[in-house]
Structure 1
Amino acid sequence: MEAFLVSTGIVALAEIGDKTQLLAFLLAARFRKPLPIILGIFIATVVNHAGAGALGAWITAQVSPTVMRWVLGVGFVAMAVWTLIPDKIDEEEEGGKGLKLGVLGTTIVAFFLAEMGDKTQVATVALAAQYHAFVAVVAGTTLGMMIANVPAVLLGERIAGRIPVRLVHGIAAAIFAVIGVATLAGAGQKLGF
């Protein structure tokens, strides 16, 4: 249960102001069809994070517990710093330009591509490696993405200016940093890493 709750919380906080949340705002403003956009975000996230979780589980099986502890600890601290860097959406990730995929297809493709190499995807790899709980981590990170992005789709610009993005990023960065330092300090050694 801890893996699920931590994964949900970290990703929900990290996603605020992230480029994929900006993409959710753009898709909502462009298409004005929330249900296929929300379904597209869900499908793209499940597929993307399942791959990331599988990679995290595979890495855990390949690397010694001591090396894994250092990689995860440093990785979480690096993600704390990365979370503090504001995101901008790249034009090629807006999706739908020249594509005839419909709202659902455009959302799936755009969200999947925007999530590649994104901090929430990297967090999914690290969380799956740390917790050894593929299903709980993927379910948690997916729920975290939905918690952050469904309101963006449904409420759009009305809430965009009201979210204290810097504060939320600071909280997410602090959580990543605490997990990183705790991992480096040996927290979880009785779990095998």
Structure 2
Amino acid sequence: MLQEFIRSLFLIFMAEMGDKTQILAMAFATQFKIYEVLLGVFIGSFLNHGVAVALGSYLSNLLPMGAIQIAAGFLFIGFALWTLKSDEEEDEENTGRNFGPILTVAFAFFIGELGDKTQLTAITLSVDAKYPIFVLLGTVSGMVLTSGLGIFVGSKIGDKVPELAIKIASAGIFLFFGIIKLYTSLPKTYINITNVIIFFILLSISIYILLRPIFKSRRGEISSLKEVALTIYKRSHRIKKRK
């Protein structure tokens, strides 16, 4: 029970570090009060991940558990590679104020997370969960925590946020869980030296291809994450000077 909550919280927390939805929360923090942003994140994530957990629980009754575990392993590895993808390739979300602060944030997060790796992670975690409600509580807590941390860190250090280190650490966590799941779930006939070498060669090539544009973009350009963090930093310091 507690293990499922902690694992879900940890994986979602790592998945969202430096991701576009964390940037979105930080961007909202430059417009709205922090408690309004975090409450909106909670509502939007709860609704979005609630759908995901319900779907995952439903699939667990339809598919063989062995196949689910193997699919989960490959999905976690896919999430690791997804994490390394440059955020500049993502479309910006609509951050209009049409519904008031809390509902605007909730709507943006609900829509923004549809089909995103965090929603897919929630589905993956819930298919073999004994207590799906604790998976839901863990994933939503992870979303709120990473949003709050992003806003706090941005207000303290601005564009000095270690974006690349965050991405690599997050990807590393997903790779670890993915490889462990595959190792424990795949038939032993598939786990041999030839297949392992091929797997790691393909994985290394994929990581290199995804990291290359990130290293290039660091040369004189400021990323979306650092730009928003710098805005929060300047705003927080303006507020302090007024007091």
- Residue 78 of structure 1, CA deviation: 1.0
Q: Please identify, of 124-133 and 151-160, the stretch whose mean Cα deviation from structure 2 is larger.
A: 151-160
How much has 1:149 moved relative to structure 2? 0.2
Instruction: State the match for 1:53 in structure 2.
Output: 53
Counterpart residue identity of residue 101, structure 2? V
**Residues of 1 paired with 2:172 and 2:130: CA distance?**
23
Is the Cα–Cα contact under 8 Å of residues 48 and 121 in structure 1 kept in the other structure? yes
Which letter maps to 1:77?
I
Kindly name which structure, 1 or 2, has the bigger radius of gyration based on alpha carbons.
2
AA of the residue aligned to 1:38: L
Matches within 5 A, 1:19-168: 19-31=20-32, 33-88=33-88, 90-91=91-92, 93-96=93-96, 100-154=98-152, 156-168=154-166
Is the 8 Å Cα contact of residues 8 and 142 (structure 1) preserved in structure 2? yes
Distance 1:144 1:69 in 2: 23
The letter for the 2-side match of 1:2 is: Q
Scaled by the length of structure 2, the TM-score of the pair is 0.70
* SS of the residue 1:137 aligns to: helix
Equivalent-residue separation in structure 1 for 2:120 and 2:106 (angstroms): 19
Q: Percent identity?
A: 33
Structure with bigger RCO (C-alpha 8 Å, 6+ apart):
1
**Is there any run of 5+ residues in structure 2 with no aligned partner, and where?**
186-243
8 Å contact from structure 1 (residues 95, 109) kept in 2: no
Say whether 1:171 aligns with 2:169.
yes
Q: CA deviation at 1:127?
A: 0.9
2:61 alignment partner, SS class: helix
Determine if contact 1:37/1:153 at 8 Å carries over to the other structure.
no
Q: What are the superposed Cα offsets for residues 51-85 of structure 1, whole Å, 9 maximum, x if unpaired?
A: 11111111111111221122111111111111111
Q: For the Cα contact (< 8 Å) 2:40–2:103, is it kept in 1?
A: yes
Q: 2:52 & 2:29 partners in 1: Cα distance?
A: 26
The aligned length equals 185
AA aligned to 1:22 is I
Long gaps (5+) in structure 1:
188-193
1:190 is matched with none
Instruction: Give the direction of change, closer, same or farther, for the CA distance of 1:111–1:160 in structure 2 (3 Å limit).
Output: farther
- The runs of at least 4 aligned residues of structure 1 exceeding 6 Å deviation read none
Deviation of the 1:158 alpha carbon: 4.0
Q: What RMSD in Å do the two structures reach over aligned CA positions? A: 2.2
